[in-house]
Chain A
Amino acid sequence: DSGVTQTPKHLITATGQRVTLRCSPRSGDLSVYWYQQSLDQGLQFLIQYYNGEERAKGNILERFSAQQFPDLHSELNLSSLELGDSALYFCASSAPREGQGADTQYFGPGTRLTVL
């Protein structure tokens, strides 16, 4: 158990709909990352928040948005859903590391989104 929690585990919805995925980071971690994993593209970075502020953006569609709240939990909002949005969505969190090296990201169990 990484200490990162995600809800819901599974989500089935229809095209055109909007859904919200929720993530709670490990206790004390300030950074939250969102990744998408589909069969044909592997794990792709979407967006990072650090202590409530957007820190980095990856291949995130304009239909997708995220935020991090004062209690550090994060939500990923997906709107105008298309069939191709079906994927596993993972949240990861990390704590700052002393020195030059990158901090380690710990992943949650994921949310499986199915768009019908």
Chain B
Amino acid sequence: EDQVTQSPEALRLQEGESSSLNCSYTVSGLRGLFWYRQDPGKGPEFLFTLYSAGEEKEKERLKATLTKKESFLHITAPKPEDSATYLCAVRGTSGSRLTFGEGTQLTVNP
């Protein structure tokens, strides 16, 4: 069974204070690791897909990296508008479903 664990559960940062969110996973044959951003009461917004260890992707202040056991979402010089819950999900060879972690709730204070 695929499993995803995200840490920390919650993170408070000051504006400009860089940090990283962790996503540890176990999956039978990784076919993709996905990062989403979710605002309260809204649908998950797609950020990145990573397919193989060593892959990195960047978008504005966010950078996602992937190893064989975990993924990191690095946030550089965050702004208050980056406040949201960040979700990590994996898809393995066992089927089409995404298995999600519980998310990291990020708050960036001005």
Inter-chain contacts of A110 with B (CB < 8 A)? 41-43
**Taking the complex as formed, is B31 at the interface, i.e. its CB lies under 8 A from any CB of chain A?**
yes
Q: Contact size class for A?
A: 20 to 34
Q: How far is the CA of A44 from the CA of B36 in the complex (A)?
A: 15
Q: How far is the CA of A55 from the CA of B22 in the complex (A)?
A: 31
**Taking the complex as formed, is B75 at the interface, i.e. its CB lies under 8 A from any CB of chain A?**
no
- Give the size of the chain B interface in residues (CB under 8 angstroms): 24
Q: How far is the CA of A55 from the CA of B103 in the complex (A)?
A: 27
Partner of A112 from B41, B44, B87, B102 at Cβ < 8 Å: B41
- B99 and A102: CB pair below 8 A? no
**A3–chain B nearest beta-carbon distance, Å:** 11
Are A48 and B96 CB-contacts (below 8 A) given A100-B31, A102-B31, A107-B36?
yes
Residue-wise, chain B 28-59 has the 8 Å CB interface mask toward A (1 for contact) of 00011010100001111110010100000000
Which of B32, B36, B43, B103 has the most chain A CB atoms closer than 10 A to its own CB? Answer: B43
Given contacts A2-B46, A33-B96, A101-B31, 5 further A-B contacts (CB under 8 A): A35-B98, A45-B98, A56-B96, A100-B31, A109-B42
A-B contact pairs, 24 of them (CB 8 A): A2-B46, A33-B96, A35-B98, A42-B100, A43-B44, A43-B87, A44-B100, A45-B97, A48-B96, A48-B97, A56-B95, A56-B96, A58-B97, A101-B31, A101-B51, A102-B32, A102-B49, A102-B91, A104-B34, A105-B34, A108-B43, A110-B41, A110-B42, A110-B43
